Structure 1
């Protein structure tokens, strides 16, 4: 039987890696929601101008997630934010892809007119 006190990090301990990974994941999630809303409502103001900020935020989330993942000292469960960094990378990639579709659609619509 394993003792719970032998874990490398407590569940409630906030390290710099966990804070950075959580912030990156939340920024990526906000970017993904913004890009998704811009895709489903192309005629709204968000649909016309929301692609570039969502793209920037998605790339920032991926960069911050990569920074936390490369600087983590231990593996998963050590309290360094590695799991959150992987989530931030995935959510940031999703946001970047959605935002790129919005930007591509916006530029194509500007060329037709």
Structure 2
């Protein structure tokens, strides 16, 4: 048991273990974009009349906004981070957040197009 702790200590000292500030920005962007995807999916289902009584318009707008915010945060992280994918700075997570943000925007747009306008 002590040998395992002795082997893990140099890795922890190098900053390999744990979430650093580089990954935190990508994680925040991914979480915001993922919430946009979830809200967009629910709004799309609501606009199709599968769940709930509303038309899904409010959820579609929220999904659009969250998707765009997630994409902006991920783009900012990609522009300011150094190194490549796999170096622990969160570039891979930011790329995933960009894709999730785009999916959230598309789902929100589809739900907005399918929901009837209310005056």
**In 2, Cα distance between equivalents of 1:22 and 1:46:** 31
Q: Which runs of 4+ in 1 moved over 6 A?
A: none
Does 1:97 pair with 2:102? no
How many residue pairs get aligned? The number is 104
Contact kept? 1:28, 1:95, Cα under 8 Å: yes
Contact kept? 1:9, 1:78, Cα under 8 Å: no
**CA 96–45 in structure 1, closer or farther in 2 if over 3 Å, else same:** same
TM-score (ref. length: structure 1): 0.80
Q: Name which one, 1 or 2, has greater alpha-carbon Rg.
A: 2
Q: Which residue is equivalent to 1:65?
A: 74
TM-score (ref. length: structure 2): 0.77
1:1-113 to 2 correspondence within 5 Å?
5=11, 9-12=15-18, 14-42=19-47, 43=49, 44-45=53-54, 47-106=56-115, 109-110=116-117
What CA RMSD, in Å, does the superposition of the two structures yield over aligned residues? 2.2
Q: Which residue is equivalent to 2:5?
A: none
Gaps of 5+ in 2: 1-9
